[in-house]
Amino acid sequence: MKVKIVYNNEIHLFKQSNPTLQGIRQHIQKIYPNIDSNFTLAYNDSENDQITLSCQEDLQVLIDEGTPTIKVFVLTSKKPQEFPQGKMVHKRHTCDGCYTYPIVGSRFKCLECHNYDLCEVCQAKGLHNNHKFFKISTQEELEQFRKEHWGKFGHWGHGGCGFHRGGPHGPHGQHGPHGHHGPFGHETFKQIREFFQDPAFKEIKQTVCTIAKDTFSVIKTELEKHKNSKQEEQKQYECNTNDVQETQQEIQQEPQQEIQQEIQQEIQQETISQQNDCKIQEEFEEKVKGLIQVLQCDEKVAREYVECFKGFPLDEIVDMLLEKQ
Ligand SMILES: [Zn+2]
Ligand SMILES: [Zn+2]
């Protein structure tokens, strides 16, 4: 079991497998050699009541419950007259803001929480100001509070006051304030616990669930819409892509067509030129034949003449040769 020792704004932690009250006391005296040996030990139970640890049986309750960590407050005795005259001492109450015990002067009792009290200082600081408080600073106010609000908290119905539940121990005297230890996150934890216990929470939970359900269905619908529109876009994109591909094919086909056309043109031109060549050849042969007939010469000589006067018609070639002769 871990034991946290809270004293004079300090917390000491030590471990004892089978803690004894005597062992804890000895440990405290070791840490604080000058401490008044009449100090009292106490802890806050789950209902935030301060329980005095005056004998081993008191501690045994915690050991039997299997409490992993126990926070022990070291309370040094102070004489009652040390409290300011005329101020009410709330012997059973620790301030939930600064953990001062007991609350002296005005005690501010939260009317909404099961067990939440503040001292004057913490109330003035505005702690827990989201809830209404009942100010108790006189016996009359305490009576009034009991008359108006007692029993309002159903779970207060435990027998007795929960104080000294380890058995009768006699009065433990009044303890001076044991110093401010600052918040331990205790308040937050307590608020959360109270919030979960609150019947209103059930209602809130249902409302939240309904809202969440609605929100999820809206989100789902929106997601589906989004998905559909994406699919539509994808389709559109694919269509466009096809168009683009077709265009690309066309673009690619175009030069091919051009090339083919050019080739065809070339072929045609070649054919024409070949045809022309044939024609020229035919004409050449005709000229050669004609020249042989007119001049009565060799074919070889006739070819040479025709070759020599290429481009001239046959009759002109004949005239030129006859003149020459
Ligand atoms: Zn306080
Ligand atoms: Zn409250």
pLDDT band, residue 25 (cuts 50/70/90):
very high
Determine the average pLDDT of the residues in 146-151.
81
pLDDT band, residue 184 (cuts 50/70/90):
very low
Final residue of a structural domain among 184, 212, 227: 184
Cα 184 to averaged position of ligand 1 atoms, centre (Å): 13
My answer on whether 164 and 212 are in the same domain is: no
My answer on whether 7 and 122 are in the same domain is: yes
Determine the average pLDDT of the residues in 138-160.
71
Closest to 144 (Cα-Cα) out of 180, 111, 118: 111
Between 312 and 246, the more confident residue is 312
Whether 115 is in a domain gets the answer yes
My answer on whether 144 and 14 are in the same domain is: yes
Range of the domain at 304: 204-324
First to last CA, the chain: 149
What torsion, rounded to 10 degrees, do the Cα atoms 7, 11, 15, 21 define? Answer: 10
Cα 191 to averaged position of ligand 2 atoms, centre (Å): 7
What torsion, rounded to 10 degrees, do the Cα atoms 194, 41, 52, 100 define? Answer: -50
Whether 298 is in a domain gets the answer yes
My answer on whether 299 and 178 are in the same domain is: no
Please state, in angstroms and rounded to a whole number, the distance separating the CA atoms of residues 215 and 211. Answer: 6
Q: What is the number of domains present in the chain?
A: 2
Closest ligand to the CA of 93: 1
Matching residue, tokens 């009541």:
49
- Neighbouring CB atoms inside 10 A of 184's CB total 13
Whether 192 is in a domain gets the answer no
My answer on whether 154 and 251 are in the same domain is: no
Closest to 115 (Cα-Cα) out of 47, 164, 45: 47
Whether 196 is in a domain gets the answer no
Please state, in angstroms and rounded to a whole number, the distance separating the CA atoms of residues 313 and 325. Answer: 19
My answer on whether 213 and 178 are in the same domain is: no
- Cα 119 to Cα 88, 173, 201, 293: the distances in Å are 11, 20, 28, 151
Q: The domain that contains 152 carries what CATH number? A: 3.10.20.90
pLDDT band, residue 169 (cuts 50/70/90):
very low
Please state, in angstroms and rounded to a whole number, the distance separating the CA atoms of residues 325 and 317. Answer: 12
Tens digits of per-residue pLDDT, 121-138? 999 999 999 999 999 999
Cα 163 to averaged position of ligand 1 atoms, centre (Å): 21
Closest ligand to the CA of 193: 2
Cα 229 to averaged position of ligand 2 atoms, centre (Å): 51
Final residue of a structural domain among 156, 184, 212: 184
Please state, in angstroms and rounded to a whole number, the distance separating the CA atoms of residues 306 and 97. Answer: 134
Whether 121 is in a domain gets the answer yes
My answer on whether 15 and 95 are in the same domain is: yes
Final residue of a structural domain among 119, 153, 184: 184
Determine the average pLDDT of the residues in 296-314.
83
Cα 121 to averaged position of ligand 2 atoms, centre (Å): 16
Cα 173 to averaged position of ligand 1 atoms, centre (Å): 21
Whether 195 is in a domain gets the answer no
Closest to 96 (Cα-Cα) out of 124, 62, 58, 128: 128
Closest ligand to the CA of 119: 1
- ipTM for the whole complex: 0.89
Least confident of 42-56, 170-184, 189-203, 221-235: 170-184
Tens digits of per-residue pLDDT, 75-102? 876 554 456 778 899 988 999 999 888 8
Cα 96 to averaged position of ligand 1 atoms, centre (Å): 6
My answer on whether 162 and 263 are in the same domain is: no
Determine the average pLDDT of the residues in 100-121.
92
pLDDT band, residue 72 (cuts 50/70/90):
very high
Tens digits of per-residue pLDDT, 260-269? 787 788 778 7
Contact indicator for 14, 27 with CB cutoff of 8 Å: yes
Whether 250 is in a domain gets the answer yes
User: Could you tell me which residues come within 8 angstroms of residue 28 by beta carbon, excluding any fewer than 6 positions away?
Assistant: 5, 7, 35, 39, 41, 74
Whether 189 is in a domain gets the answer no
Question: Rounded to an integer, what is the distance from CA 223 to the centroid of its chain?
Answer: 19
